[in-house]
A and B are shown apart, each in its own frame.
Chain A
Amino acid sequence: MKKNRKIRIHRIYLHLALKKSLYFSFFSLLFYKASTIAAVPAEKNDIKGYVIDKESGEALPYANVILSGTYRGTATNTDGYFVLSAPAELCSLTVHFIGYAKHQVVIDNSKKPPKLVQSYTVTEIESKTEWNKKDIIKRKAPAEFRDDFLYISMQSAAIQGEEVTVTAEKYEMWKSSEEVAQVTFSPRQISALPSIGEPDIFRSLQLLPGISGVSDGSAGLYVRGGTPDQNLVLLDGMTVYHVDHFFGFFSAFNADAIKDVQVYKGGYPAKYGGRLSSVVELTGKTGDSNQKRLGVGLNLMSANVLGEVPLLNGMGSWIISARRSYSDLIGSPMYNKLFDFLSDTEPETPQGFGGPGGRGVQQEEVRPDFYFYDLNSKLSLLPTSRDILALSFYSGRDNMHDLQEMGNLRFGGGETTGTRGRDETTDWGNTGISLKWSHRWHDRFNSNFLLARSSYFSDHVTNLSFSTTTEDTSDVLRGRGNFASQENNAIDDFSLRFDNDWQINNSYQLEFGIGAKNIETDYIATVSDTFNVFESQGASHQLSFHLQSKLNFFERLDISAGIRSVYYDRSASYYTEPRLSLQFTVTDRLKAKAAAGRFTQFIHRIVNEDVLEGSRDFWLVADENLEPGRAGHLIVGLEYDTPGYLFSIEGYNKNMENLLEFSRRFQDRADFGGLFFFGSGVSRGVEFLAQKKYDAFNGWISYTLGDIEHKFPNLNNGEPFPASHERTHETKAVGTYSWGRWNFAATWVFASGQPYTAPEGQYNLDLLGDNTRSYYHVSDKNANHLPDYHRMDISASYKMAVKNEHGFDGELGLSIFNLYNHNNVWYRKYDLEVSPIVITDVSMLGITPTLYVKVKF
């Protein structure tokens, strides 16, 4: 009886909605009064509360809270808070947070205040009897009502003090979220994956479909044909510009200090802006509000320490984590290996100074002093039940100092002796601070006020000096010389944001906010202290406004329509960025998703290709000459979700305008300043994914087919060429297996070779009048492809737990990178000085085993 009635209502509303939606323009969607549709007759009460970690009391952001038996639900906000209106009867909520056991609470919602009836975790394991069916294990789990707020304590898959509950249970490492191209990633689970050095968030993200790491020596994310600088990386609201350490080998974030990672591979919502490709939002841990904790970790490259302190009787907490490499203090073979990889040391051919005829050439192989560190600290306070204050601090820095002195050099048959010195310092880092105040005015209305400042710097100083003495029979000649060059780049980013979130009802949510941003960049390249090769200073101001409304129709269709408008003072223009995202639940297993949007980027990163000078890429704010980059995304996808598996297909198309290339080679044809070229690009692709979500053995296989076509009027004769980070085919397979306290994982990555430009032949001309000269003809830009890339990594980790009064948890992990030592070509090097010319392939990392140990008290 009841069921029939429900169906009839749906029909009526469908009719109404279809009719209305025809008349609704894009903007009217934003202000649409959902109450006209979503009025369901039954009496309703709100259930509000928090989703927290059972162990630390840490609030869990972006957890899904679903009213069981419906498709209706909500997600917690960054403070772990949710509100949901539910029928005034017995109802059940299912809470899902990645890396944690699914939690169900049964509530008697007819009472005021509502009463908790039951609370348990739900573990699904593969059925022993029937394929693709689940056996469900329910265990009692904590949840309680405190001051009308429901606190749901989630249990993580990680080791839990005395009792090790890890058996055959295994929770997802990442999952595709509600919106198309959105991925929720769990830092708790990544230690299961193979790594270089230690578990690393960005390196792990490179294993997801559509996200590539183009070199072994880079933690940069190339998201669907975008470049790393087109990713908005936010840590507790502050923009981070320096996202990696050691020229890209490690990401700059200590995985132990991060609790949640949200990745939007495109088509992201209106509250984000300022980047063309993607958003990576990292939420730092707030720290344990119940007890003090201390963790230490050690690997072959660095050591880290993490402390958590509860404050004011659970009214606040403080977390601090620090990490530093120790290769400058004590030798680290890992460092030596990685450095040799980066510096392309050729042991067999020591290059002599002095050229042919030089005798007794002495070359010392010196590895420079190097260190990096990062520090995360977050202070959280809950002065009232409606306010949260969080002060977050991040500082990361890399420093390399290379001092080489060579004495007793002999040239020209021995009459000339000399010394040569080289003193090179590269120093770069990012410091940021953010203060966030979130206030709940009403159960359904939240505001966040954020003040953030982020400063990035990169300094590079080289001093070369030489002195020579020539002794003739009659004369002594002395020579002395000095050459200094310096490059400095700095960014100062100051942001103010006021974001609001109004959950009008279960089917209608409104987000709106305003923001102001001030970015200053400064770049200067100097030779010998006097001659400025290039100098650019810029300050810019942005004022932005965004409005986004999320509507749900008949629990099946979610429409999220938004608009972001930015005024940028350097171009004195308004940039309007509409955003739209749709999800349609066809059946409980099949979902269709789509998204579209426009995006603008007001800061350019100028890429300097020399690898050891990775940090010498520099940032400049967009101005009258360097126009802001613009992009348009279109994404469509289908997702089939069974109890144990997820299958998905996603197609994307990304148009990019005002892309920038920087070259010192073709100064006469450059579009601006003799150095910059402007162009546009299109990136298209399809991603296929099959994921096995749970159980002892789980993992995923993905395949991406994509191309990136760039078109620069003054490069390659204006003809389109493939971008140098294009990987036409990319396949990734990840499998993890847990067995008691052990966890094993293997990953395999295959990618077609990246395009490159190569000399193709030589020819002679005497057009220039002096003599016949030989020239090298170079192929069209990126017309050749390197050999295919593939590698397999494996890892094993072991979880320890000691059960006594000084009990501790720990983890020991071993990884082997590039297990079968495949010779992946990084780039091809041409030596045209000799004849016939020599071509060498410079390889990426060979087999590299690493080890880490982590202990937490």
Chain B
Amino acid sequence: MIKFPYVLLIIFILMFSACEEIIQIELDDGVTRLVVEGRIEKLKGSRNGYQRIILSTTDNYFSQVSPPSVNDAKVIVYDDFGNSYPFTESATQPGVYETDSLFAEVFRTYTLIIDYDGETYSGEVRMLSVPPIDSIYQEFQEDTRSFGNRGDDSPEGYIAMVDFTDPAGAQNYYQWEILLDGEFQIEADPANLFLRLQNDEFFDGQKVIGHQPDNTLFLDPGQAVVIRQIALSQLAYDYYSLLFSQSAERGVFDTPPATVRGNVQNITDPGHYPLGYFSAAEVAEAYLIIF
């Protein structure tokens, strides 16, 4: 017979000696893709708007420098009358393409054509109309639930809010921006998604009173606030929502996050699709100095 205990002993020793390994590996660089950030803007009640297309590329995620901007692209926007508006790269900001000849109009369709690195990219949007901000005002509030923008334990101060009237019958999608002394507020964090993006599912056709684009932004007298109300298409709304949910501070994850694909296509090689979004938006702006 086999000497059983000895066999067992040997096996136990073997068991301890085998251990799990976690090793570092090296991956090939991923495919480099064009990143498009384009917005055709028109201020409500004005012909003006800031038109710019920002181009960059994706970068190997091992690198610590910010992804390179794209400098030698040909960028043209066409409207549905066949007019073309060439965008030229800004002398001061690399990768930012601008024009001052385009005065956008609502319900017009704009097509973006980019020629870059031997490939042609195209994206199309229709500029939607946004309802005006009926009024902007302030209200004193205190909040015992959360920390405010100043890191107070129980913050108190003035909250800026707006009234507006949603057009009845149509599906409307909104984005709000709030600027404090010229600085954008509201962190692009998934928790702030509903502050920034909303559809009119629950207020279709109604007058919305006291909408607070940021209910934790407590203001002091003398501070200047700009609230921008922006019309989005459903596609843009979906894109921004997804982008928001991807904007969380990331930790270790095993299942990687989602690919967020926008509305710009690569015509030459559809598989080598670009990232980013080309949007056209009418913007209603209102301005308030806290008193």
Min CB distance A341 to B, Å, is 6
Rounded to whole angstroms, the CA-CA distance of A344 and B20 in the bound complex is: 8
Q: A761-B33, A846-B18 are in contact. Are A837 and B255 (CB under 8 A)?
A: no
Contact (Cβ within 8 A) B238 A763: no
A14 interfacial by beta-carbon distance below 8 Å:
no
Q: Which residues of A contact B184 (CB under 8 A)?
A: 769-771
Q: A777-B33, A835-B64 are in contact. Are A764 and B242 (CB under 8 A)?
A: no
Contact (Cβ within 8 A) B15 A760: no
Rounded to whole angstroms, the CA-CA distance of A346 and B261 in the bound complex is: 35
Q: Which residues of B contact A847 (CB under 8 A)?
A: 14, 18
Q: Which residues of B contact A780 (CB under 8 A)?
A: 259
Contact (Cβ within 8 A) A831 B67: no
B177 interfacial by beta-carbon distance below 8 Å:
yes
Q: Which residues of A contact B54 (CB under 8 A)?
A: 766
Min CB distance A784 to B, Å, is 9
Rounded to whole angstroms, the CA-CA distance of A835 and B25 in the bound complex is: 15
Min CB distance A611 to B, Å, is 9
When C-beta atoms are compared, the residue in chain B nearest to A853 turns out to be B4
Contact (Cβ within 8 A) B252 A666: no
Min CB distance A253 to B, Å, is 25
B91 interfacial by beta-carbon distance below 8 Å:
no
Contact (Cβ within 8 A) A668 B186: no
Q: A761-B30, A761-B31, A770-B187 are in contact. Are A346 and B22 (CB under 8 A)?
A: yes
When C-beta atoms are compared, the residue in chain B nearest to A761 turns out to be B58
Contact (Cβ within 8 A) A830 B18: no
Binary flags per residue of A704-744, CB closer than 8 Å to B gives 1, else 0: 00000000000011000000000000000000000000000
When C-beta atoms are compared, the residue in chain B nearest to A611 turns out to be B254
Contact (Cβ within 8 A) A829 B255: no
| Contact pick for A776, options B177, B241, B250, CB 8 Å | B250
Contact (Cβ within 8 A) A763 B59: yes
Category for how many chain A residues contact B: 35 or more
| Contact pick for A770, options B8, B56, B185, CB 8 Å | B185
Q: A337-B15, A777-B30 are in contact. Are A345 and B20 (CB under 8 A)?
A: yes
Min CB distance A719 to B, Å, is 10
Interface centre among A827, A838, A851 (most CB of B within 10 A): A851
Contact (Cβ within 8 A) A839 B25: yes
A836 interfacial by beta-carbon distance below 8 Å:
yes
Contact (Cβ within 8 A) A765 B276: yes
Contact (Cβ within 8 A) B187 A757: no
Q: Which residues of A contact B269 (CB under 8 A)?
A: none
Contact (Cβ within 8 A) A814 B7: yes
Binary flags per residue of A287-327, CB closer than 8 Å to B gives 1, else 0: 00000000000001000000000000000000000000000
Give residues 1-49 of B contacting A (CB, 8 Å). 1-2, 4, 7-8, 11-12, 14-16, 18-25, 27, 29-33, 35, 37, 39
Give residues 236-291 of B contacting A (CB, 8 Å). 238, 240-247, 250-261, 275-277
Q: Which residues of A contact B16 (CB under 8 A)?
A: 333
Rounded to whole angstroms, the CA-CA distance of A779 and B29 in the bound complex is: 12
Q: Which residues of A contact B12 (CB under 8 A)?
A: 333
Rounded to whole angstroms, the CA-CA distance of A837 and B32 in the bound complex is: 18
B144 interfacial by beta-carbon distance below 8 Å:
no
Contact (Cβ within 8 A) B58 A768: no
B83 interfacial by beta-carbon distance below 8 Å:
no
| Contact pick for B196, options A334, A665, A768, A838, CB 8 Å | A768
Rounded to whole angstroms, the CA-CA distance of A439 and B22 in the bound complex is: 59
A340 interfacial by beta-carbon distance below 8 Å:
yes
B188 interfacial by beta-carbon distance below 8 Å:
yes
Rounded to whole angstroms, the CA-CA distance of A847 and B35 in the bound complex is: 46
Q: A765-B276, A833-B251 are in contact. Are A341 and B20 (CB under 8 A)?
A: yes
Rounded to whole angstroms, the CA-CA distance of A759 and B252 in the bound complex is: 12
A514 interfacial by beta-carbon distance below 8 Å:
no
| Contact pick for B35, options A717, A765, A831, A848, CB 8 Å | A765
Q: A669-B242, A763-B35 are in contact. Are A770 and B186 (CB under 8 A)?
A: yes
Min CB distance B22 to A, Å, is 5
Binary flags per residue of B186-199, CB closer than 8 Å to A gives 1, else 0: 11100000001000
When C-beta atoms are compared, the residue in chain B nearest to A775 turns out to be B246
| Contact pick for A765, options B18, B61, B241, B243, CB 8 Å | B243
Rounded to whole angstroms, the CA-CA distance of A847 and B21 in the bound complex is: 11
Q: A333-B12, A798-B2 are in contact. Are A767 and B243 (CB under 8 A)?
A: yes
Q: Which residues of B contact A841 (CB under 8 A)?
A: 22-23, 25
Rounded to whole angstroms, the CA-CA distance of A853 and B7 in the bound complex is: 12
Rounded to whole angstroms, the CA-CA distance of A800 and B56 in the bound complex is: 73
Rounded to whole angstroms, the CA-CA distance of A297 and B15 in the bound complex is: 21
Rounded to whole angstroms, the CA-CA distance of A348 and B31 in the bound complex is: 33
Q: A769-B188, A833-B252, A837-B62 are in contact. Are A842 and B22 (CB under 8 A)?
A: yes
Contact (Cβ within 8 A) A775 B260: yes
| Contact pick for A836, options B2, B31, B63, CB 8 Å | B63
Interface centre among A341, A757, A798 (most CB of B within 10 A): A757
When C-beta atoms are compared, the residue in chain B nearest to A851 turns out to be B11
| Contact pick for B177, options A610, A769, A837, CB 8 Å | A769
When C-beta atoms are compared, the residue in chain B nearest to A837 turns out to be B61
Q: Which residues of A contact B2 (CB under 8 A)?
A: 798, 812
Q: Which residues of A contact B30 (CB under 8 A)?
A: 759-761, 777, 779
| Contact pick for A767, options B18, B66, B276, CB 8 Å | B276
B146 interfacial by beta-carbon distance below 8 Å:
no
When C-beta atoms are compared, the residue in chain B nearest to A817 turns out to be B18
Min CB distance A847 to B, Å, is 5
A384 interfacial by beta-carbon distance below 8 Å:
no
A140 interfacial by beta-carbon distance below 8 Å:
no
Contact (Cβ within 8 A) A833 B250: yes
Q: Which residues of A contact B33 (CB under 8 A)?
A: 761, 763, 777
B111 interfacial by beta-carbon distance below 8 Å:
no
Q: Which residues of B contact A836 (CB under 8 A)?
A: 61-64
Can you show 17 pairs from A to B with CB atoms below 8 A apart? A340-B19, A609-B255, A717-B259, A760-B30, A764-B35, A764-B66, A767-B240, A768-B244, A768-B247, A769-B177, A769-B184, A769-B188, A778-B256, A823-B23, A829-B254, A832-B251, A838-B24
3 residue pairs, one from A and one from B, having the closest CB atoms = A760-B30, A761-B58, A768-B188
